[in-house]
């Protein structure tokens, strides 16, 4: 390893949250995501969604945890519609596409980039053979509305992590290597031990008969293996685990719906992984007594409750004194099985200082909880100083972004509104202003001609 274990203590965790975009809507596009499908066609509130997300960022920052902001993507994606043969002015392109297919307009208007746990996979420089922090944008190739995110994500990452002496930003993997980002990756670290990277996958990308019966498995094993190679991780400290097909079929489309881990704590459902006993034994052999594992059985915490409450999509955040706080959605507090499980875990682990329940109703109704909204970056002080753009959260930036949201976002958005060229113009105007606030430059297609 380029950096020794002692040096890892000098790293601070930064949670970069995705800012909800102006076209936040309930399109029901995410096959296998029960909340997304069940709210299809409902009226959304983009303003409330964005303000809920900013309130979460403000809360994390107040804990003393590093907090960053990542921008929404350009939606509707007119460059995608032009690639599909629609031509003319921006307004004409959208009108033609709407006349052709409402479903297509929903696809290119999705605000799913808000869930940046799917945006990329990250390896901190203390874990990599070349001493660089590595980040690979996810191709999200399984679902069309998400597959169009990778190019903008890569642009943003290259702006934020532009210093090649400290950061390595890779291109997304080839499309066949289906990669869903950090939602299928967990970094565990023990006291005085090098970290262990756990990569979860649902299927092979090369001709395997699907094991799921209801919903598709998205992440391929080959993508997970490629990420470990690209990020120059020690193969002896990488663990590959297969998502349990029963978990996927119940609605655990990503691993972070049934498992959450950070530092020396791993919480998971017994149907999170199909090779769970073997994988846990491997993790324990690498991390020893530093690793504490809490498994919820189906009898204690049925899958239906785990997925409805998103208890495992809670966000574990590390505080400066080595303790942790669990940020759970209000739905976990309101579900008796979820609340009892989380309280049991907290009672057994003194390092887990408390559980805080956050209101993220707009995101939750579309299938994304606290952990979906953030991408974790362990960064050294020199790396923080090298970040590009104005993306580190502060109360002043929070005030500015909240005022920006109130100026530009609608408080009601029905599916039919996505056909309105005025919404597209409102969105582009807002995003153009946002790039100036965050000092990102011209990251959007409409800014680049």
- Strand arrangement of the beta sheet that strand 238-242 belongs to: 185-188, 196-201, 238-242
Note whether 271 and 243 are within 8 A (CB).
no
Candidate list 52, 74, 142, 180, residue with the active-site label: 180
DSSP for 175-216, written as a single string: TTS---GGGGEEEE--TTS--EEEEEESB-SSSPPP--SSS-
The separation between the first and the last C-alpha atoms of the chain, rounded to the nearest angstrom, is 44
Gap between the Cα atoms of 49 and 364, Å rounded: 10
Q: Determine if the peptide bond prior to 76 is cis (ω within 30°).
A: yes
Helix, strand, coil percent content, the chain, rounded in steps of 5: 45, 20, 40
Residue of 154, 372, 383, 408 with catalytic role: 372
- The answer to whether residues 345 and 375 touch, using CB atoms and an 8 Å cutoff, is no
- How many residues are present in the chain? 449
Q: What are phi and psi of 145, to 5 degrees?
A: -65, -20
| CA gap 410, 80 in Å, rounded | 24
Q: Catalytic: which of 134, 231, 254, 269? A: 254
**Annotation says 180 is catalytic:** yes
Residue 250 makes CB contacts below 8 A (sequence gap 6+) with 271, 303, 304, 307
Sequence-separated (6 or more) residues with CB below 8 Å from residue 60? 15, 17, 67, 317, 327, 393
What is the rounded distance in angstroms from the CA atom of residue 182 to the CA atom of residue 185? 5
Verify whether residue 126 is a known catalytic residue.
no
Catalytic residue flag (residue 254) = yes
Give catalytic residues, as residue numbers: 180, 254, 372
């Amino acid at each position: 390893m380029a950096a020794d274990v002692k040096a890892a203590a000098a790293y601070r965790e930064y949670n970069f949250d995705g800012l909800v975009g102006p076209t936040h809507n309930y399109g029901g596009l995410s096959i296998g995501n029960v909340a997304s499908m069940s709210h299809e066609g409902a009226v959304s509130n983009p303003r409330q969604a964005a303000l809920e997300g900013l309130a979460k960022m403000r809360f994390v920052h107040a804990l003393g945890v590093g907090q960053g902001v990542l921008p929404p993507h350009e939606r509707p994606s007119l460059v995608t519609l032009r690639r599909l043969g629609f031509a003319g002015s921006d307004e004409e392109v959208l009108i033609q596409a709407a006349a052709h297919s409402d479903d297509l307009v929903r696809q290119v208007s999705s605000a799913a980039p808000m869930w940046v746990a799917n945006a990329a996979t990250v390896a901190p420089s203390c874990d990599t053979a070349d001493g660089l922090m590595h980040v690979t944008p996810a191709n999200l190739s399984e679902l069309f509305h998400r597959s169009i995110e990778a190019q903008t994500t890569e642009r943003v990452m290259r702006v934020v992590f532009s210093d090649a002496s400290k950061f390595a930003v890779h291109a997304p993997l080839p499309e066949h290597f289906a990669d869903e980002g950090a939602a299928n990756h967990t970094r565990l670290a023990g006291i005085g031990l090098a970290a262990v990277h756990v990569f979860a996958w649902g299927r092979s990308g090369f001709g395997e008969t699907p094991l799921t019966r209801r919903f598709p498995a998205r992440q391929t094993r080959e993508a997970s293996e490629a990420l470990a190679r690209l990020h120059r991780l020690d193969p002896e400290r990488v663990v590959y685990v297969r998502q349990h097909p029963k978990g996927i079929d119940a609605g655990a489309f990503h691993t972070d719906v049934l498992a959450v881990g950070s530092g020396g704590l791993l919480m998971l459902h017994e149907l999170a992984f199909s090779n769970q006993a073997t994988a846990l034994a491997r993790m324990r052999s690498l991390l020893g007594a530093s690793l504490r594992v809490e498994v919820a059985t189906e009898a204690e915490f049925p899958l239906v409750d785990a997925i409805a409450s998103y208890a495992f999509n809670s966000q574990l955040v590390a505080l400066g004194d080595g303790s942790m706080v669990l940020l759970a959605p209000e739905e976990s507090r309101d579900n008796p099985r979820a609340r009892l499980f989380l309280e049991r875990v907290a009672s057994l682990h003194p390092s887990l200082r408390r559980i805080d329940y956050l209101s993220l109703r707009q995101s939750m109704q579309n299938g994304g909880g606290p952990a979906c909204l953030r991408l974790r970056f362990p960064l050294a002080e020199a790396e923080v100083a090298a970040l590009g753009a104005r993306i580190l959260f502060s109360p002043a930036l929070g005030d500015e972004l909240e005022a920006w949201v109130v100026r530009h976002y609608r408080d009601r958005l029905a599916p039919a509104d996505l056909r309105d060229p005025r919404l597209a113009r409102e969105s582009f105007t807002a995003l153009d202003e946002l790039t100036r606030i965050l000092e990102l430059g011209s990251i959007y297609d409409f800014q680049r001609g």
